[in-house]
Amino acid sequence: MSKTKTNLTSKPKVTVALEKCRGAFISVGFFSLFINLLMLTGPLFMLQVYDRVLASKSLPTLTALVILIAALFLFLGLLEMVRTRILARIADKINTDLRNTSLSATIKHSVIQTPNVGTQPIRDLETLKNFVGSQGPSTLFDLPWTPIYLAVNFMLHWVLGVFSVLATLFLIILSIINEVLTKPRTEEAMTKSMHTSMIAEETKQNAEILQAMGMEKNILSRWEKLQADASKAHLALSNISSTFTSLSKSVRMLLQSCTLAVGAVLVIEGLISPGSMIAASIILTRALAPIDQSIAQWRNFANARKAYHRLKMFLGDEDLTEPQMALPEPTGKITVEKLFIAPPGIKTPVLRSVDFTLTPGEALGVLGPTGAGKSCLARALIGTWGPLSGAVRLDGATLDQWNPDQLGPAMGYLPQSVELLSGTLKENIARFTPEPDPEKIVKAAVLANVHELVLSLPDGYDTVLGEGGHKLSGGQKQRIGLARALFNDPCYIILDEPNSNLDAEGEAALTKAIATAKQNGQTIVVVAHRPSALQACDKVLFLREGKQLAFGPRDEVLSKILANPQDKATQQDKQTEVQS
């Protein structure tokens, strides 16, 4: 049966990662308790100096107070350091728990072609990690202490308390206005930044086309406009944020001075002591500091909140179900049952009612004109596109019933466009398997007729590919990709247009590799536009306009295709193949 999930108990993965750090967050709150209590050290010291030391002119008392306050401030600094380090470790823990998941989400959304995602999950995790490791969370833990500081001012005198409350409410109103004005601009700025990042990635991937076809100037003009729009949005956001940050700072300093003025009136009236006046001013400054800091951190708050909500959507829920039971090692029997396929997010099928069965050791060729649905079928056969209805079964089990860690090594796949990853040739052929068997790497390379090519390179199998590494031609990439598909003798191999970049020698090697795989009992599906790739195939499936028109022995199906005048585009290729 397919894997199910208990929706009532499942939680978003990012939420689970944060909940795992609950104990550490409680520790931060515990240290914040003592930090904020020690923040009263300064006001109490001033109160004692003005009301006791100056009145008594006692130097021993002053000396004792200085020693005490020095010890308390040193302890305060130690607690601040510990709190900062705990937050840094929480950020690292969250990153450790989610970094693989965020990369997996990036791969998943790329496969299902989710628009405007790209590497956003990775960037959002970085945003969340940076915020948790900053002073932002400390501000959140300090905010609840504002009422306590206000209560202390009430204890000094109710007038000071009322003035402190009014000052606090004024800063809170500024914070609310800041949120209302910055929220839509934050969303706009982030959306435009995401769009420009996607365009930059597309430009990089198509650099040769842009330069060869004289498109660079047009793309630069487009890029300049997009960047200007994004910069304008960020500038508007920055203007509002900086305005409120500066206003908040000025207002806080003004209110501190006004507190001294109110206190001075009370001192003149004989209602409080001079020490209480100074203490009230310092306490109000401390009460307003978290609010002032929250305004300064508002942009970071907003970005982290947006990143958190996107991660909830991108990463999905924690899988709380029992791990899938491992199935017996697959043999390669493929059953396709009344398969209807559509691209992700689309409900109208582009491939309808495909039905066939392959046994281990059989090779199937899939033919059809452009737009027939061949590549859609290939994506369904490897499980990246789920069926609208029907099923693809491997040894009787649908692909989603297999544990991915078991299914992946049992499957070989060569896509139309072969992309190799940064790393050595041997790592790419071995699918980046830790400590792979060198004999299996060489065996796959020999089957793909790429062994001699690899040995001709400067560092052989240790040749580095990717940025700053060796550059391969399209045909060389395809042959390396074929070796990767054949690595470790997978029981089930799908080759999508495997001869699109091959010369006659490469096609001969491809035919030999398919024949060898058949002899080893492996099941092969070859999706091709040219019939030259089907010489070693036993059966042929012919598609046109998303429908299965023929399936059966190779020569029988090819004869039917040749007899059908509607397939003129394919007919010429078939006749060439028959003559050869």
Residues 487-535 have pLDDT tens digits of 989 999 999 888 777 777 777 888 888 888 889 899 999 988 767 678 8
- 351 and 484 share one domain: yes
Residue 7 counted as domain residue: no
| pTM metric for this prediction | 0.69
Q: Mean pLDDT for the chain? A: 83
When pLDDT is cut at 50, 70 and 90, the band that residue 113 belongs to is: low
Helices (H), 39-58: 41-48, 54-56
Per-residue tokens: 508 = 């001969």
- 297 and 176 share one domain: yes
Per-residue tokens: 527 = 């999706």
Please report the pLDDT score of residue 565 as a whole number: 52
Residue 8 counted as domain residue: no
Which domain-ending residue is among 286, 315, 344?
315
- 115 and 206 share one domain: yes
Q: What is the mean pLDDT of residues 229-258?
A: 83
Assign residue 241 the CATH number of its domain: 1.20.1560.10
Q: What is the pLDDT of residues 138-165, one digit of tens each?
A: 888 988 888 888 898 888 889 988 988 9
- Please tell me the distance from the alpha carbon of residue 59 to that of residue 62, in angstroms, as a whole number: 5
- 23 and 152 share one domain: yes
- 264 and 363 share one domain: no
Indicate the number of domains in the chain.
2
- 338 and 292 share one domain: no
Please report the pLDDT score of residue 2 as a whole number: 38
**Nearest CA-CA partner of 546 in 319, 332, 366:** 366
CA distances, 446 to each of 362, 420, 477 (Å): 21, 18, 15
Residue 513 counted as domain residue: yes
Structural domain including 525 reads 334-579
Residue 155 counted as domain residue: yes
- 294 and 384 share one domain: no
β-bridge mates for residue 412, sequence order: 493
Assign residue 438 the CATH number of its domain: 3.40.50.300
Residue 82 has pLDDT above 90, yes or no: yes
CA distances, 287 to each of 75, 147, 500, 512, 573 (Å): 21, 8, 70, 79, 82
Per-residue tokens: 299 = 């942009």
Please report the pLDDT score of residue 31 as a whole number: 92
Please report the pLDDT score of residue 54 as a whole number: 82
Q: What is the mean pLDDT of residues 53-77?
A: 88
**Nearest CA-CA partner of 73 in 40, 105, 104, 32:** 40
Residue 339 counted as domain residue: yes
Residue 78 has pLDDT above 90, yes or no: yes
Please report the pLDDT score of residue 215 as a whole number: 74
Residue 329 counted as domain residue: no
CA atoms within 13 Å, Cβ hemisphere of 46: 15
Please report the pLDDT score of residue 9 as a whole number: 54
Please report the pLDDT score of residue 294 as a whole number: 79
Q: What is the pLDDT of residues 19-28, one digit of tens each?
A: 889 999 999 9
Which domain-ending residue is among 315, 346, 373?
315
- Please tell me the distance from the alpha carbon of residue 40 to that of residue 416, in angstroms, as a whole number: 69
- 62 and 181 share one domain: yes
- 306 and 353 share one domain: no
Q: What is the pLDDT of residues 376-402, one digit of tens each?
A: 898 889 888 888 889 999 988 988 888
Q: What is the mean pLDDT of residues 341-360?
A: 86
Per-residue tokens: 310 = 């996107």
When pLDDT is cut at 50, 70 and 90, the band that residue 442 belongs to is: very high
Residue 287 counted as domain residue: yes
Residue 2 counted as domain residue: no
CB neighbour burial string for 104-129, b if at least 16 within 10 angstroms, e if fewer? ebbebbeeeebeebbbbbbbbbebbb
- 193 and 66 share one domain: yes
- 293 and 342 share one domain: no
Q: What is the mean pLDDT of residues 335-349?
A: 86
Give SS3 for 567. helix
**Nearest CA-CA partner of 236 in 198, 194, 195, 192:** 192
Which domain-ending residue is among 315, 344, 365?
315
- 412 and 353 share one domain: yes
